[in-house]
Amino acid sequence: MILLVEKKLFSIKNLFSYDTKDPMRTEHTHPIRNTKYLKPQEEWKGIIAIYLYLAGMGAGSFIIGTLISWFNIKPDPPILSSINLLGHTLNLSSVPILWGPVVVAIGAPFLILDLGIKWRFLYACLNPRTSWVARGFIILSIFIVLGLLLLAKSVLPFEWLRPKSVLWRIPEIIAFIFAFGTALYTGILLKATKSIPLWNSALLPLLFLVSGLSTGSMAMILSTLGTGFFSHDARALKVLMVGEQVLVIIEAIVLYLLLSRRYRAAEQGKDSVRLLVFGEMKMIFWGGVVVLGFIFPVVLENIASFFPGNVAWIFVAGILLLCGGFFLRLGILHAGIREQIPMHRLMEIQYNAAGKTKEFGARRPRNLSLGS
Amino acid sequence: MDEKVLVVDQQKCTGCRLCEMVCSVFHTGASNPSRSRIKVIKWEDVGLYLPMACNHCEKAYCVEVCPTKACHREPENNNRVTIDKKLCIGCRTCVVACPFGHPFFDISERVTVKCDHCDGDPQCVRFCDVKAISFLDADKANVSRRRESAGRFIDSIRQGR
């Protein structure tokens, strides 16, 4: 198969920088279908990937944590069950399962950091009906505020915060729904920019939701293991781990479906998939997403099941899976190639017509053929 | 119909990039072609030059995705799509969304900028030496091509006689 992809070493510096462009750089090229011009979008880079990852992982872990608390599993007192602060005893027993909003709150500033003029992010909050970026601000703020309040409620020692009434479940349910919204929104944000075929699919929000759930549940396993949350009840941990492996497998299936559908959807979708699977991004895709994210964790967890006492295997698997979740976002972001416009098709026809004449025939680059 | 559009005759363009220069001088005060709102895309090996500016699409993706309504349509002003610099937050969503890659991020102003027809007097049209760009009524945009094809038709009839 002829690769239409520029083979260039993947530099991390290039991923995270916006302003290294030479201001005097002039625009000679344009992303027409040519080796030279086939470039993925360069606007959203590593910072957005970090944000997408933290938001998805935090929301996923909150969903799993809320489910654990709803199933009313009586946890063991963790290693550090309470601390004294200014004469009040803070109850830390639920922190290992409800820390999700903190991670989302850490991730959200990355979205603001990416803006050209940072303080103007408030403008986006004021126009929720305009676009998905603005709606995302609202969804994220509601989730972060509600989630942090629920976390504070579980930590603070006051008895009046813990009534028996079922009505107190309502804020939990709302936060649960908004956690789903946050995880889905990370995909919808990309889907809403319709001109990139790789992203313009309903499977992308689903992929990010499933990925958020799998990374979130893995992070939950790590935090509960690290704090001895399930030390009395090994079965709960086992259920969680089986669920996590099922989620990883579902994630792999959804990723396969997304890539295969997008491969057939548009020429640029095909280019994106090629870029991801065989091209410049192949180290990130095969190394980061497939090996670190899918294969290693599942294999290591199955090995770990033979050594019940040894949690080091699970920790290694968990950290690899968390890295894989990040690389998935990075890969999807960096493989986004814009759709072709009719004008480019005209240019291609003229270019090819010109290439067939004797005058230009010798100089016509071979790789301009439209592939496949 | 008083709506006017920028019409590019790609056959005439020589790739001199004067339009980029005057555009950046008009909008930013600096003669820096990388900050101009029009870009001449070049295929040097076959000698094709195509000035590309905003198409002010009927269904503009940039307007749809803008979170602050900074990118908006002005029906009273030639139905153009323009970005309000005071509202733009520099999120670059419009740059990602535009299939033509047109709005671009101005590094020094930290906002996204795009073609606004120079408030009715496009400098690229005014200064183009070979008249490759023209600012015409939308319904007259194709007249020259129609005239050309009609001329060819008449020629063929004459040859047939």
Interface test with A, best of B19, B49, B68 (most A CBs within 10 A): B68
In the DSSP assignment, the letter for residue A75 is P
In the DSSP assignment, the letter for residue A175 is H
Contacts of B32 in chain A (CB under 8 A): 23-24
Architecture of domain B1-53+118-161: 2-Layer Sandwich (3.30)
Which pLDDT value is given to residue A345? 67
Which pLDDT value is given to residue A22? 47
In the DSSP assignment, the letter for residue A291 is I
Which pLDDT value is given to residue B156? 87
Residue A93's Cβ-count burial label (10 Å; 0-12, 13-18, 19+) is middle
pLDDT tens, position by position, B35-60? 999 988 887 766 778 888 898 888 88
Report yes or no: B125 and B8 within 8 Å, Cβ to Cβ. Answer: no
Split at pLDDT 50, 70, 90, the class of A31 is very low
Contacts of B54 in chain A (CB under 8 A): none
CATH of region B55-114? 3.30.70.20
Of A23, A130, A341, the CB nearest to B67: A130
Split at pLDDT 50, 70, 90, the class of A40 is confident
Taken in order of first residue, the domains within chain A and their CATH numbers are 38-265 (1.20.1630.10), 341-372 (no CATH)
Which pLDDT value is given to residue A79? 60
Which of A122-126, A158-162, A313-317, B123-127 has the highest average model confidence (pLDDT)?
A: B123-127
pLDDT tens, position by position, B64-78? 888 888 999 998 888
Q: Which two tokens stand for residue A46?
A: 């590593």
Split at pLDDT 50, 70, 90, the class of A13 is very low
pLDDT tens, position by position, A270-291? 888 988 888 888 899 999 999 9
Does residue A34 register a pLDDT over 70?
no
Does residue B18 register a pLDDT over 90?
yes
Q: Which two tokens stand for residue A245?
A: 């492996």
Contacts of B34 in chain A (CB under 8 A): 23-27
Split at pLDDT 50, 70, 90, the class of A159 is low
Q: Which residue of B has its CA nearest to A334?
A: B96
Q: Which residue of A has its CA nearest to B39?
A: A27
pTM of the complete model: 0.82
Q: Which two tokens stand for residue A173?
A: 């349910």
pLDDT cut 90: percent of chain B above it: 27
Split at pLDDT 50, 70, 90, the class of A320 is very high
pLDDT, greater one: A30 or A131: A131
Contacts of B31 in chain A (CB under 8 A): none
Of B42, B65, B95, the CB nearest to A133: B65
Contacts 24+ apart (CB under 8 A), A352-355: A354/B46, A354/B48, A355/B46
Same fold, B1-53+118-161 and B55-114: yes
Q: Which residue of A has its CA nearest to B62?
A: A193
Interface predicted TM-score (ipTM): 0.81
In whole angstroms, give the CA distance from residue A229 to residue A311.
Answer: 14
Contacts of A127 in chain B (CB under 8 A): 67-69
A203 min Cα distance to partner chain B (Å): 19
SS3 label, residue A80: coil
What is the rounded average pLDDT of the residues B123-128? 92
Strands B48-52 and B71-74: unpaired
Split at pLDDT 50, 70, 90, the class of A324 is very high
Sequential DSSP letters for B57-72: -SS-HHHHH-SSS-EE
In whole angstroms, give the CA distance from residue A321 to residue A291.
Answer: 9
Of A28, A116, A124, the CB nearest to B67: A124
**Selection from A326, A342, A322 nearest residue A334 by Cα:** A326
The dihedrals phi and psi of A43, each to the nearest 5 degrees, come to -85, -40
Contacts of A27 in chain B (CB under 8 A): 33-34, 39-41
SS3 label, residue B12: coil
Q: How far is CA A366 from the centre of its chain?
A: 38
A189 min Cα distance to partner chain B (Å): 9
A127 min Cα distance to partner chain B (Å): 6
- Check CB contact under 8 Å for A116 and B90: yes
pLDDT tens, position by position, A341-371? 666 666 667 666 655 544 444 444 444 444 3
Does residue A216 register a pLDDT over 90?
yes
- Check CB contact under 8 Å for A192 and B65: yes
Report yes or no: A45 and A16 within 8 Å, Cβ to Cβ. Answer: yes
Strands B104-106 and B111-113: antiparallel
The vertex-A294 CA angle with A288 and A300, nearest 5°, equals 110
Does residue A254 register a pLDDT over 90?
yes
- Check CB contact under 8 Å for A116 and B91: yes
Query: Dihedral (C-alpha) A93, A97, A98, A101: value to the nearest 10 degrees?
Result: 140
Which pLDDT value is given to residue A162? 66
Residue boundaries of the structural domains of chain B:
1-53+118-161, 55-114
Q: How high is the mean pLDDT of chain A?
A: 79
Which pLDDT value is given to residue A187? 93
